[in-house]
């Protein structure tokens, strides 16, 4: 297309753009949605034009002022998550893809200083774009897989062009290094769901093999090599990623010393990164099938605790490996190792419950849900057993994905941590009868007879246990809410103990009035939280069972975003002498910036795998609901008024600003 012809085809689109922009700008709040749709359709035509991106970029500020983002998830840019951009660009319907593209251009405008936006500093915009680019390197490098090419949408070329334009504007410096750091940060939380992490590592490997891609620091290069080798070549015999058939041939010809070295190398790579290679799964199956099962414990990297558990339940563990650990489900090996280290098999109901799981036949509905979520590389039964192993080994690694089901994810985590035989009983109900029956204040609730809750569809971006259980748990949770809706108080006062278990404290504390949403007796709320959980004010009593709590989530500017369910795991001094609250956040990534210097830590401050933490006063400033067992007496050490004032000020300057 000649330059003259391009201009002729572009001008009508721009005239239409300007006309609809004027309508959008002058529309009433109620009428915005209509003109937003027309505007997005026009921008779609613009993006598909060879010169459209250059014409659109200088108009971004006008678009935002006209209200293109009003009433959408993109209205508050500081609350957007870089990790979600890629899926939106790949899988969303065209108008949503266009909206995401406009949002990226807005970030680019701020990053380059062409636009100033309150709540979106230049460095934050640049950091956001760097993360988006790092997580979508495959599109920038042209490394689309065949399925992506077959399913290419009408805007794919436009999106690729946009990402390359952003890369040219932001620069490549630090992108790969930032991606490596991001992968390590996520993996240190030991999430159950690691497919997106594996995808990022693949992109790192492709970029390192490409031209012109380098790291600014040697330690970053070393970190990248460790990640890549953990997936594609964790040991000497598979260092160059020869493929599973060739690797099995090498194992068959190996001597005892070489096999021992392989077992140790596999375990070292697994526990170092939290990733399990398909070669590791192949090795475990080979040594069991070849009569060398004495190497299994070495390949799992067991300590004396795990080794004792393995020896006591060797037949069960080997059957779990036989069913669950295979290429495509390799992460189950880490779950089994960590489950053995927890010693939960010594609890009398666990082993027979797992034998029941191994022998179960899933209903057609369960099989369909698991196949929809994970495909047919492994059978639904194998997927489910693998998922149970991962959850029992990593109870703080479960995430809700992009689903409104934090209550259900928290419940699964608490049961896996505190009451695993109950979790296995719930799973047996669903896998056999497609229902869960729970009781609320003596009344049976049958999930098969209840309407849908918050999750309108089976969660596909979740672990196998969540895929099977969450739809049922969500319906029961919603029904409990309906049953207490008229009581005039926050429903979690009654729901949390009934849903999660007897160990949830029956004394209930809330910082806001349920009818007005305003703060109520907030200083006393803070004081009560100290008496319930702070070791210096509760007689040094530890947290006995994980306790559900509610937080007011804020963005990096301290702006209130909504309420969120978490669980308090423990309260303790870190290595620097700072009293911290260690908690479980049922997101796939707990490291978050809640504004005003409150940045959630996931490592380096005494956190155990899967825990997040904050200094006590920072955590308290975002807390709005907690439970207490009611056994505490009045504190012998009064809570300092200055401490209460500090917490109050942090709250009033953020989520509670409009609640005084």
How far apart are the C-alpha atoms of 15 and 578, rounded to whole Å?
Answer: 61
pLDDT of residue 145: 35
**Sheet hosting strand 579-584, strand order edge to edge:** 507-510, 623-628, 547-554, 560-573, 579-584, 612-615
The residue that leads in pLDDT, 189 or 151, is 189
Question: How would DSSP label each residue in 381-403?
Answer: HHHHHHHHHHHHH-TT-----SS
Phi-psi region of 71 (alpha: psi -120 to 50; beta: other; left: phi over 0): left
Structure tokens at 185: 């940060």
pLDDT at 153 over 80: no
pLDDT at 142 over 60: no
pLDDT at 310 over 80: yes
pLDDT of residue 303: 96
The widest CA-to-CA distance across the chain, in whole angstroms, is: 84
Instruction: Flag the least confident range among 17-31, 59-73, 203-217, 579-593.
Output: 203-217
pLDDT of residue 176: 78
Structure tokens at 94: 């065209």
Greatest mean pLDDT among 120-129, 416-425, 627-636 = 416-425
pLDDT of residue 223: 87
Angle at alpha carbon of residue 435, lines to 434 and 441, rounded to 5° = 175
pLDDT of residue 213: 55
Radius of gyration, CA atoms only, the chain: 27
446 close to 384: Cβ distance less than 8 angstroms: no
The residue that leads in pLDDT, 210 or 232, is 232
- How many other CB atoms are found less than 10 A from the CB of residue 542? 10
Closest CA to 564 of 550, 574, 577, 543: 550
pLDDT of residue 608: 94
Question: How would DSSP label each residue in 258-282?
Answer: HHHHHHHHHHHHHHHHS---HHHHH
Average pLDDT, the chain: 90
Structure tokens at 126: 């640049």
Confidence of residue 269 (pLDDT cuts 50, 70, 90): very high
647 alpha-carbon distance from chain centroid = 28
Closest CA to 418 of 340, 357, 504: 504
Instruction: Flag the least confident range among 210-224, 233-247, 646-660.
Output: 210-224
Distances (CA, A) of 285 to 242, 263, 375, 466, 632: 18, 12, 22, 27, 52
pLDDT at 200 over 90: no
Structure tokens at 270: 């697994």
How far apart are the C-alpha atoms of 14 and 16, rounded to whole Å?
Answer: 5
Greatest mean pLDDT among 63-67, 138-142, 218-222, 578-582 = 578-582
CA quadruple 13, 16, 18, 21: dihedral sign = negative
pLDDT at 152 over 60: no
- How many other CB atoms are found less than 10 A from the CB of residue 597? 9
Give the tens place of pLDDT for each residue, 365-398: 999 999 999 999 999 999 999 999 999 999 999 9
pTM for the full model? Answer: 0.80
Question: How would DSSP label each residue in 394-434?
Answer: -TT-----SSS-HHHHHHHHHHHHH-HHHHHHHHHHHHHHS
DSSP class of residue 593 equals: B
How far apart are the C-alpha atoms of 187 and 605, rounded to whole Å?
Answer: 16
106 close to 167: Cβ distance less than 8 angstroms: no
pLDDT at 148 over 50: no
pLDDT at 143 over 50: no
Q: Residue 323 phi/psi, 5° resolution?
A: -85, -45
Mapped to the 3 state alphabet, what secondary structure does 511-530 carry?
CECCCCCCECCHHHHHHHHH
CA quadruple 441, 444, 448, 450: dihedral sign = negative
How far apart are the C-alpha atoms of 120 and 111, rounded to whole Å?
Answer: 9
386 close to 464: Cβ distance less than 8 angstroms: yes
Name every residue whose Cβ is closer than 8 Å to that of residue 187 and which is 6 or more positions away in sequence. 194, 197, 273, 274, 275
Confidence of residue 124 (pLDDT cuts 50, 70, 90): confident
Structure tokens at 71: 């009433």
Q: What percent of the chain has pLDDT over 90?
A: 68
DSSP class of residue 614 equals: E
Confidence of residue 150 (pLDDT cuts 50, 70, 90): very low
347 close to 421: Cβ distance less than 8 angstroms: yes
Matching residue, tokens 């608490």: 414
277 close to 198: Cβ distance less than 8 angstroms: no
pLDDT of residue 462: 87
Name every residue whose Cβ is closer than 8 Å to that of residue 210 and which is 6 or more positions away in sequence. 141
Closest CA to 549 of 399, 406, 397: 406
Confidence of residue 4 (pLDDT cuts 50, 70, 90): low
74 close to 128: Cβ distance less than 8 angstroms: no
How far apart are the C-alpha atoms of 338 and 349, rounded to whole Å?
Answer: 18
Residue 362, CA atoms < 13 Å, CB-side half-sphere: 21
Confidence of residue 147 (pLDDT cuts 50, 70, 90): very low
pLDDT at 174 over 70: no
Question: How would DSSP label each residue in 557-590?
Answer: T--EEEEEEEEEEEEEE-TTS-EEEEEE--SS--
Matching residue, tokens 């969450």: 470
Distances (CA, A) of 18 to 43, 59, 137, 153: 11, 10, 34, 26
The residue that leads in pLDDT, 124 or 340, is 340
pLDDT of residue 149: 38
Give the tens place of pLDDT for each residue, 406-422: 889 999 999 999 999 99
Angle (deg, nearest 10), helices 464-483 and 406-418: 110
pLDDT of residue 178: 74
3-class secondary-structure state, position 538: coil
5 alpha-carbon distance from chain centroid = 48
pLDDT at 529 over 90: yes
What integer is the mean pLDDT of 638-643? 93
């Amino acid at each position: 297309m000649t330059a003259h012809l391009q201009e002729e085809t572009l001008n009508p689109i721009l005239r239409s753009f300007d006309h609809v922009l004027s309508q959008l700008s002058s529309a009433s709040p109620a009428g915005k949605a209509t003109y937003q749709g027309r505007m997005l359709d026009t921008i779609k035509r613009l993006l598909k034009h060879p010169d459209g991106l250059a014409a659109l970029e200088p108009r971004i500020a006008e678009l935002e002022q006209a209200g293109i983002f009003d009433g959408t998830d993109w209205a508050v840019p500081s609350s957007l998550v870089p990790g979600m951009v890629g899926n939106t660009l790949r899988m969303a319907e065209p108008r949503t893809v266009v909206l995401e593209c406009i949002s990226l251009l807005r970030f680019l405008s701020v990053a380059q200083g062409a636009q100033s936006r309150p709540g979106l500093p230049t460095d934050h915009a640049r950091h956001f774009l760097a993360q988006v680019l790092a997580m979508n390197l495959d599109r920038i490098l042209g490394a689309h897989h065949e399925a992506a090419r077959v399913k290419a949408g009408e805007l794919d070329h436009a999106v690729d062009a946009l990402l390359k334009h952003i890369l040219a504007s932001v620069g490549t410096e630090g992108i790969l290094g930032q991606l490596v750091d991001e992968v390590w940060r996520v993996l240190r939380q030991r999430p159950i769901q690691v497919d997106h992490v594996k995808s990022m590592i693949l992109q790192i490997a492709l970029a390192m093999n490409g031209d012109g891609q380098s790291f600014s620091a040697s330690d970053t290069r070393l970190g990248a090599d460790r990640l890549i080798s953990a997936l594609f070549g964790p040991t000497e015999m598979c260092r160059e990623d020869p493929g599973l058939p060739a690797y099995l041939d090498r194992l068959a010809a190996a001597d005892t010393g070489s096999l021992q070295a392989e077992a140790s190398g596999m375990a070292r790579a697994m526990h170092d990164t939290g990733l399990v290679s398909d070669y590791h799964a192949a090795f475990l199956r080979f040594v069991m099938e070849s009569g060398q099962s004495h190497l299994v414990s070495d390949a799992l990297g067991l300590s004396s605790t795990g080794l004792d558990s393995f020896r006591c339940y060797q037949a069960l563990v080997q059957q779990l490996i036989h069913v669950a650990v295979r290429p495509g489900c390799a992460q189950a090996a880490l779950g089994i190792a960590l489950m053995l280290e927890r010693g939960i098999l010594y609890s009398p109901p666990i082993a027979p419950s797992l034998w029941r799981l191994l022998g179960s036949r899933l209903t057609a509905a369960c099989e369909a849900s698991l196949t929809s979520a994970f495909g047919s590389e492994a059978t639904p039964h194998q997927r489910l057993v693998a998922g149970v192993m991962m959850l029992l080994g990593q109870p703080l690694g479960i995430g809700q994905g992009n689903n409104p089901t934090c209550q259900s994810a928290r419940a699964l985590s608490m049961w896996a941590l505190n009451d695993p035989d109950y979790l296995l009983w719930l799973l047996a109900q669903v896998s056999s009868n497609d229902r869960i029956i729970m009781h609320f204040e003596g009344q049976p609730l049958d999930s098969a007879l209840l309407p849908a809750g918050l999750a309108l569809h089976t969660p596909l971006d979740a672990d196998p246990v969540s895929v099977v259980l969450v739809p049922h748990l969500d319906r029961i949770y919603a029904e409990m809410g309906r049953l207490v809706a008229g009581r005039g108080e926050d429903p979690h006062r009654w729901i949390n103990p009934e849903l999660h278990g007897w160990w949830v404290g029956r004394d209930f504390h809330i910082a806001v009035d349920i009818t007005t949403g305003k703060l109520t007796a907030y200083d006393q709320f803070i004081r009560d939280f100290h008496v319930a959980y702070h070791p210096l004010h509760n007689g040094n009593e530890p947290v006995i069972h994980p306790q559900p709590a509610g937080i007011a989530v804020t963005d990096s500017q301290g702006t209130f975003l909504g309420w969120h369910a978490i669980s308090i795991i423990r309260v303790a001094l870190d290595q620097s002498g700072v009293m911290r609250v260690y908690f479980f956040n049922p997101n796939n990534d707990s490291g978050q910036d809640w504004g005003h210097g409150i940045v959630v830590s996931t490592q380096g401050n005494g956190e155990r795998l899967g825990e997040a933490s904050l200094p006590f006063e920072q955590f308290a400033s975002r807390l709005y609901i907690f439970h207490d067992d009611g056994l505490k007496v009045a504190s012998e050490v009064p809570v300092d008024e200055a401490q209460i004032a500090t917490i109050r000020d942090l709250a009033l300057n953020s989520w509670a600003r409009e609640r005084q």
